[in-house]
Structure 1
Amino acid sequence: MTTSVRDGRESVPLRPLERESTPSMVAARIREAIAQGDIPAGSQLGEVEYAARLGVSRGPLREGLQRLTQEGLLVSHRNRGLFVIELTDERVRDLYLARGAVERAAAARVHETGPAAACAALLGVVDEMDRAADDVRAVSMADIRFHQVLVQQADSAQLSRIHETLLTETRMCIHRMEPTYACAEARVGEHRQIALALGAGDLLATDRLLTTHMRDAVQRLTGSPAGSTGAPPQPSP
């Protein structure tokens, strides 16, 4: 039954709050554990074990795992069960190809709509990254936030939705890259340059830096930057 509240002008309908379902919470918990590396790539997820660990029955667990399978984070092997996806070189390259397309499009949109505000927001995240230099995991989380903020600043619901679907695998990759950085200074510098190019209104430099940043990540993850992103646009003659 719907209740109405009068504010002196019109009736405002109040609807019952929707509780998050148990399968949804199961999917969220396991998704986060995969993203953090607490459940490593390639791990098998046994129903009995995870139902006990999460304190749920096998029905909701099975439904939650099915959601993660549909998202592409789990894969079912016949007669073997469910496994977390492996970060193969091919999968990593495909992920960064998609990320490059989304983030470069977002940057181009930001250049049209408000690079100064976006630059300020991104530099705030870079400062967080710099302050967390001694905490590798905190630097990684700031790294992820930087790219989320970049896409959010484009104010495109479609780009944000697509980027969100790539987030868990992105986090898996970024955490896997942690040992490849001798110090946080290089990571901070890369992100600061992107933000400053955006703030300067230099679309070509922003795009070039984003492309280089993605290729560097693929290099660290696979040993080769080949096939990571498209080539950046070249200045007109």
Structure 2
Amino acid sequence: MVALPDIEPVSRESTAAVIARQLRDAIMTGALPPGTQLGETDLAARFQVSRGPLREAMQHLVSEGLLRSERHRGLFVIDLEPADVFDIYLARSAVERAALLCAFRGDREAVAAMLEQNVADMAAAADDPAALSEADLRFHEALINASGSKRLVRMARTLLIETRMCLTLLQSTYQGVEDRLEEHTRIIETLRSGDEETALHLLDAHMEDAISRLLPGRSLKGGAAAAE
């Protein structure tokens, strides 16, 4: 092995990475709604940067699928059509089922305790729809992170941002927070008890419930054809 001199780790984000993160957060929270056109001149002035790092940041988001490019028009925040919403939950179901199976093969009690804190955060945010959606998303992010799979985490990153865009619509379909708390709590209980089959069934039902609220009459059980 070639000997290398002492190398200090790079801890600071590049300018493009900082811009990409802030734009990503703005898309996720709805500060940049679907369909918003991003103007280079305006954004460069607001970030107080040259167009080079700004373009690099926006291309990152294009590659992540959060921005779309239209020839001669520019870049726009993606619009989530019904087929997109269906596809998001179809993909999430596959990723989170895999993550849940990993959790059953690891320290179930530690994962359950961590997820319980996320449910407690959801309960505490009952009167704040935006905070409730954030806590809801953190539950699913924590479950995926607990899998220990770098690839599942990477696959889920954009899916969870797109899910946050959906949650703005989804939160208006709940009469109260109790339904959401119960769905998540039952998954934790089955994880703790070791009932893998029921846990997977509950996770499937959780995703199915979201689809039925967002896209009435459609079902994940029908596969991709159901989105057409």
Report the TM-score, using the length of structure 1 for normalisation.
0.86
Q: Which amino acid in 2 is paired with 1:97? A: L
Query: 163, 167, 176: which one pairs with 2:160?
Result: 167
How far does the alpha carbon of each residue in 1:180-208 deviate from its partner, in whole angstroms, 9 at most, with x for none?
A: 22211111111111111111111111111
Query: 189, 194, 200: which one pairs with 2:193?
Result: 200
Q: Are residue 85 (structure 1) and residue 78 (structure 2) matched?
A: yes
Query: 99, 103, 120: which one pairs with 2:96?
Result: 103
Q: Quote the residue 1:24 is aligned against.
A: 17
Q: Quote the residue 1:7 is aligned against.
A: none
Q: Quote the residue 1:10 is aligned against.
A: none
How far does the alpha carbon of each residue in 1:105-143 deviate from its partner, in whole angstroms, 9 at most, with x for none?
A: 111121122222211111111111112211111111110
Indicate the RMSD between aligned Cα atoms, in angstroms.
2.0
> Which aligned segments of 4 or more residues in structure 1 are displaced greater than 4 angstroms?
none
CA contact (8 A) 1:42 1:84 kept: yes
Taking a change above 3 Å as real, the CA distance of residues 60 and 222 of structure 1, as seen in their structure-2 partners, is: same
CA contact (8 A) 1:41 1:86 kept: yes
- Counterpart-to-counterpart distance in 1, 2:21 and 2:135: 21
Spell out the pairing of 1:121-140 with structure 2 (5 A cutoff).
121-140=114-133
Equivalenced residues, count: 221
- Counterpart-to-counterpart distance in 2, 1:78 and 1:186: 44
Q: Which amino acid in 2 is paired with 1:81? A: G
Higher helix residue share: 2
Taking a change above 3 Å as real, the CA distance of residues 60 and 229 of structure 1, as seen in their structure-2 partners, is: farther
Which structure 1 segments of 5+ residues have no match?
A: 5-12, 231-237
Moved more, 28-37 or 18-27: 18-27
How much has 1:228 moved relative to structure 2? Answer: 6.5
Q: Quote the residue 1:65 is aligned against.
A: 58
Identity fraction in percent? 46
